[in-house]
Structure 1
Amino acid sequence: MDPRLAQLLQMTSLYGTLAKFYEHSDPEKHIYFYKKHIQYEMQLVQTYWALHGHGQPETHAWDNHYHA
């Protein structure tokens, strides 16, 4: 596996886990970690497609929601 892809996968997982952990106990931390999770998730997908020679995946309407 590409090292950058592996790192992004690890960070996506870490921030997803932290977001889930704080979901009901600390809303501010939950939101913070969830935004970081989405940020790394988007980078992960973009990197995956770039490594596989497909360029950018199709943009969907829900993509704009995550960039707000």
Structure 2
Amino acid sequence: MTNDQFTAFFQDVLITVYANIRDLHEKQGFADPEEQDYIDGRLFSYQEILAIFRASAKDTGVDPKELGL
């Protein structure tokens, strides 16, 4: 895998994560209390994924902002 391929792959994953977060925030406005708990759990999980990406970037000497984090 080339650097360009990896960058494209990572950006695609990151775009998907951010899109899912945005979608869940939109659904929160219409969700009943039971669904709110589910949405909150999913949002927490996505935030954890982003935190892992940020920590890994820092650990490997990559500026998280360069990756869109």
Calculate the TM-score normalised by the size of structure 2: 0.56
Pick closer, same or farther for the CA change 1:2–1:37 going to 2, 3 Å: same
- Return the match for 2:42 from 36, 43, 59: 36
Between structure 1 and structure 2, the one with the greater Rg is 2
Number of equivalent positions: 50
Q: 2:51 aligns with which of 45, 53, 65?
A: 45
Poorly superposed stretches of 4+, deviation over 3 Å: none
Is 2:16 the partner of 1:10? no
> Structure 1 residue 20: deviation in Å?
3.0
Q: What is the CA–CA distance in structure 2 between the aligned matches of 1:7 and 1:34, rounded to whole Å? A: 18
CA RMSD, 1 decimal:
2.0
Tell me the percent identity: 16
Separation in structure 1 between the aligned mates of residue 45 and residue 54 of structure 2, nearest angstrom: 14
Unaligned stretches of 5+ residues in structure 2: 1-9, 60-69
Unaligned runs of 5+ in 1: 56-68
How far apart in 1 are the matches of 2:44 and 2:16?
A: 15
